[in-house]
Every structure is written in C-alpha cells, then in structure tokens.
C-alpha cells in the first residue's frame, strides 16, 4: 500500500507539473499568434500622398542636396520594424523617413532622408551597411503585399547600399579597403594603374571569374541604385537591364539618398508609372550600425499614394 501511495503521489505531482507548465506556456503561444501580422496588413494603403513636382530640364539625380528639392513637398513616413518575415527585426531604430519627389518629361526622382549618426559603408562580411529601398507594385489590381510582394503578385524595387556606392566610387576592392598593407600575388593578371584593361583579358578572366561574369556581389560591379524584382522575401532577382540612377550623401547625421527611374520603359520587369497617374510606393531603410541586414529592416506601415502629374 505504501508503494502504491508513493507512485500515486508521483503521478499526481507529474500531472500537476505538466498542467502548470501548459498553463504558463499557453498565454505565450496565444500572444505570439496575435502578434503575427495578417496578410491583410500587407495590403494597407496609408492616408499619405507623395506629390511629385514637375521640373523643367534635368533632375538633380546626382545631387541629394540640390536646392531643387526644396520645390517638392516633404512627406514624413513612419517606419516600423519588419515582423512579417524571418529573420524579423526585434528592436526599432529609425523612426521616420522624409520623402520628396520631382519629375520631368521622362524621369521621376525621389529623395529619402533619415537620421543616422554613422555612415556604415564597410565591405566586410562581419559588418553591416546602411541601405534603403523604394518599392512599386507591378500591378495594383490585385494589390501585392507591400512587404516584397508574393509569387503571384511581384513588386519592382530600387535598392541603394552604402557599401556598394563606396566601392563604385572608390574603385577599391575588399582587400584594399580593409587591409591596405596586404600584399597578394594571387591574381597576376589583375589590371594595374595605367594599364590597358583589354590586354590579356582571357587570362584575367581565369582568375577573376566573378568579375568577368559581371556578378553584382563583386565590389564595384553593381550600380549605385540597383533594380530588382521580388516575388516574396526569398525570391529576389536582379534585373538584366538597369535603368535606375541616384546617389547618397551623409551630412550632419543624416542620409540623403536619391532614387530615380524612367516614367515609361519597354522593360516588362519595370512597374508601370506613366506621367499623370496615381500610383503607389513603399519604403524600407536598413541601419548598419544596428546590425540590420536582409529582412531585418525598418519599413513603411503600408503603401503610400504617389501622384506624378
């Protein structure tokens, strides 16, 4: 009888422990489910409108600080952490981004600026760089998710990365940037200063295969503003034909970045944006100093209306 009573007490203790544990875990699981964004949230259109202003002549595509930007009305767009896709951003950093837009007969340009005390543009794999993106829906009926679309409803992206801009402007490689005193004779056919780059090209291609193939991951290959298409967060493709223009400047603790694209193109991968239309646009910002990368980013709360007329 004593052994039976002992075993009964043990069973009761185990059962009680399991019930207490389940009761403790259940609210956490329910809370987590409630915090998961619904698909409908990705179709949200905010009560904000970016009104592009017509400009005669050339747009300031390479000058984020041009006085011409003062002609455009500034719209402040709230940013929130990206929590719909893994890896999610756990902690907010950049609260808002300010947007202005200008256009002429052929192009539309956006200037984004946001607070960031540091210009993070290193090419190291253990560091994180600042970046920003402007996104357009390929179609508005049905409307794609502003969080990089879906397989049946893709989006068109313009991406700026501080590290790629630095590499493009400086012409320096990863080794030259991070290890300026390093000596390497691994690539005997690498171009030297003042040397004809065409000479010995086949031999060089054997040693610099990624560069020869035009791989945009190679520092200096990708344009400063890169055009991509997304059919959800893990299906991203670089466009073969790159039209976009722009540049970024870090000044007084803020980034000022210009994104520009043609209003009308013959490229089927470009979102249509004819002059005079009412379109939609969304925004994303990465803070390298806060270890943002890939899906860890700040995003607008939804689509923002865009008027170009």
Secondary structure (DSSP) of 174-238: HHHHH-TT----S-TTS--TT--TTTTHHHHHHH-HHHHTT-TTSTTTS-SEEEEEESSTT-EEE
Q: Which residue has the tokens 């466009």?
A: 239
* Rounded CA separation 112/160 (Å): 11
* Rounded CA separation 287/291 (Å): 7
Q: What is the pLDDT of residues 76-117, one digit of tens each?
A: 999 999 988 888 888 888 999 999 999 999 999 999 999 999
Rg of the chain over all Cα atoms, to the nearest angstrom: 25
Q: Are 223 and 168 in contact (CB under 8 A)?
A: yes
Q: What is the pLDDT of residues 239-254, one digit of tens each?
A: 999 999 999 999 999 9
- Residue 61 is given by DSSP the state T
- What's the confidence (pLDDT) of residue 161? 95
Q: Are 294 and 145 in contact (CB under 8 A)?
A: no
- What's the confidence (pLDDT) of residue 11? 44
The DSSP bridge pattern shows strands 303-308 and 45-54 to be: parallel
Q: What is the pLDDT of residues 253-270, one digit of tens each?
A: 999 999 999 999 999 999
* Rounded CA separation 110/259 (Å): 5
Average pLDDT, the chain: 83
Alpha helices by DSSP H, listed for the chain, are 2-35, 162-170, 174-178, 201-207, 209-212
* Rounded CA separation 30/33 (Å): 5
* Rounded CA separation 241/29 (Å): 46
Residues, the chain, total?
Answer: 309
Write down the pTM of the prediction: 0.80
- What's the confidence (pLDDT) of residue 24? 37
The closest alpha carbon to 108, from 47, 50, 149, belongs to: 50
Coil vs helix vs strand at 22: helix
Q: Which of the residues in the chain have pLDDT under 70?
A: 1-39, 184-204, 206-207, 275
- What's the confidence (pLDDT) of residue 211? 75
* Rounded CA separation 299/248 (Å): 19
Q: Which residue has the tokens 């031999």?
A: 203
- What's the confidence (pLDDT) of residue 271? 96
């Amino acid at each position: 009888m004593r052994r039976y009573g002992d075993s009964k007490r043990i069973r009761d203790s185990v059962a009680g422990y399991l019930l207490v544990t389940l009761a403790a875990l259940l609210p956490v699981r329910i809370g987590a489910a409630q915090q998961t964004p619904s698909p409908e949230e990705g179709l949200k259109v905010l009560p904000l409108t970016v009104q592009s202003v017509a400009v005669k002549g050339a747009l300031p595509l390479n000058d984020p600080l041009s006085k011409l930007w003062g002609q455009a009305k500034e719209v402040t767009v709230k940013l929130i952490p990206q929590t719909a896709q893994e890896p999610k951003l756990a902690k907010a950093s950049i609260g808002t981004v300010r947007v202005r837009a200008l256009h002429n007969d052929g192009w539309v340009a956006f200037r984004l600026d946001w607070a960031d005390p540091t210009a993070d543009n290193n090419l190291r794999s253990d560091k994180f760089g600042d970046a920003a993106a402007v996104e357009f829906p390929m179609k508005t009926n049905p409307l794609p998710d502003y969080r990089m679309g879906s397989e049946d409803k893709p989006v068109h992206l313009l991406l700026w990365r501080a590290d790629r801009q630095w590499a493009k402007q400086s012409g320096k490689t990863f080794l030259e940037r991070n290890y300026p005193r390093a000596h390497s004779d691994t690539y005997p056919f690498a171009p030297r200063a003042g040397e004809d780059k065409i000479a010995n090209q086949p031999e060089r291609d054997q040693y610099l295969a990624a560069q020869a193939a035009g791989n945009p991951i190679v520092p200096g290959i990708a344009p400063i503003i890169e055009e991509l298409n997304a059919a959800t967060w893990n299906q991203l493709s670089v466009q073969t034909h790159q039209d976009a223009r722009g540049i970024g400047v870090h000044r007084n603790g803020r980034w000022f970045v210009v994104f520009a694209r043609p209003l009308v193109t013959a490229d089927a991968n470009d979102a249509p944006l004819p002059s005079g239309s009412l379109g939609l646009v969304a925004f994303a910002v990465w803070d390298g100093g806060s270890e943002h990368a890939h899906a860890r980013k700040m995003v607008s709360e939804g689509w923002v209306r865009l008027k170009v007329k």
